[in-house]
Amino acid sequence: MRTEGRGRGLLGVVSGNTPEARGRVLDLLRRASPDALVLSVSVHGGVAGRYPFVQRFAVGGDERQRASLSQVATGDPTVIVRQDLGVIARAAPRPHVVLALPDNVDALPFLAELWRSPLGRTPLSDHYDLAPLAVGVDPARLLSDLRCVHRAVHLFGDHPQAVPLTLAEAAARQVEAAHVMVLRNGGVEDCGRLDGSRALLAHLNPSALVLLDGEERDGTLLTPLIRPGSGWAAAGPADRLDVIAPAMRRRGIDRGVASVLWRSRRPLHPQRLAESLPQVMPAVVRSRGYLWVATHPDAVISWRSAGRHLELRQAGSWLEDGDTGAWRAASSERRTLASWHWDDRYGERRNEIVFIGAELDEDRLRAALDTAVLDDGELALGADRWAGLPDPLLGTATQDPRTEP
């Protein structure tokens, strides 16, 4: 297959939670587009300040493209793969390349860095359109990994060194990055687990297309895998990494799995938030969002949980009126959201979290979080006084000694 218009090729990206699941997606892609070049990547090492070894193996495509590639290099994986893709594009016009990523690569930040235009270099967007990111999913492995918070994995993304994450967080991120997911069918004896996984995937990533392996008999369901992805913003994959993004929530309950969206336009009292967690988290499989915490009023606090592990961290600053540089640097989607939600006093500050789990008690969850925001009297004290609130989650901000306790 060749893409239409403006002389660009097509770049597809494939990953999977097992080698077999990833291989099955590659089989489907090669069936749909036999002339595609598959560039398989593996990344090894890269800890303790050393660059990793990056191996590449090319199959299919044009012989000129394969001959132009080296197989082993040491360095930043995104730099090496970007160079490979540039070489392929120059070797033959309008190539179709499928980039197969290993399970130790965090696909979305890797793609965002890959798509970034280095100073003085031709951007990849001049050579390629991005096809949907396709992820193969083994349901048995997915359910097991989402419960695993006692073991760390090291993932490569937008940095040459690997970042440690829990296995549950890594599994959730892989699914959430996908545009298309192919769910492996284990047979009749695995029907219950397959249906449960399909329901969970629909809540973890409501915007993705979920295909059951075997449903592609007529070939029409493979079409989304080999066309430019309409879900990619014009600015590229980096937009999807913005901590301030629209909440993706699936409505309804599927086989006991539900999503609950909680929002508030008041800052959170950090101690009451900590005290609410036993009521909020027990049935939650995955949650994502951002917070406005009273002790850190200028910081966007990202909220991520997978399994029983919850991570809160500072992830940038809220947009301020008149800060032209920050507004220009923000994604177009974030600027739009900020305009919709703008408050004359507090700007874009707000709380928004989506909780996903089985048998969630929505009323109890909402009530617990609603009691954690500041009341009218606390809100009237202002940010200078909020800084002195006890904060067992993020640490109490330094208080001005001139401020009365």
Over range 55-67, report the average pLDDT: 80
The band of 263, judged by pLDDT with boundaries at 50, 70 and 90, is very high
Residues whose CB falls within 8 Å of the CB of residue 343, separated by 6 or more in sequence, listed in order: 265, 349
Residue 239 reports pLDDT greater than 90 = no
Instruction: Write down the mean pLDDT value for the chain.
Output: 86
Q: Element (H or E) spanning 169, and its range?
A: helix 167-177
Residue 233 reports pLDDT greater than 60 = no
The band of 6, judged by pLDDT with boundaries at 50, 70 and 90, is low
pLDDT digits (tens, 9 = 90+) for 19-49: 999 999 999 888 888 889 999 999 998 666 6
For the chain, give the percent of residues with pLDDT over 90. 58
What is the per-residue pLDDT for 3?
41
Rounded Cα gap, residues 146 and 139, in angstroms: 11
Which range is least confidently modeled, 158-167, 168-177, 250-259? 250-259
Packed helices 270-280 and 362-370: angle between N→C axes, nearest 10 degrees: 170
* 141 vs 50, more confident: 141
Rounded Cα gap, residues 147 and 167, in angstroms: 8
Residue 160 reports pLDDT greater than 70 = yes
pTM over 0.85: yes
What separation, in Å, do the N-terminal and C-terminal C-alpha atoms of the chain show? 69
Over range 78-105, report the average pLDDT: 91
Quote the tokens at residue 27: 């089989």
Task: Find tokens 């892609």 and name the residue.
Answer: 29
Residue 357 reports pLDDT greater than 90 = yes
pLDDT digits (tens, 9 = 90+) for 70-88: 778 899 999 999 999 998 8
pLDDT digits (tens, 9 = 90+) for 309-322: 999 999 999 999 98
What is the per-residue pLDDT for 244?
87
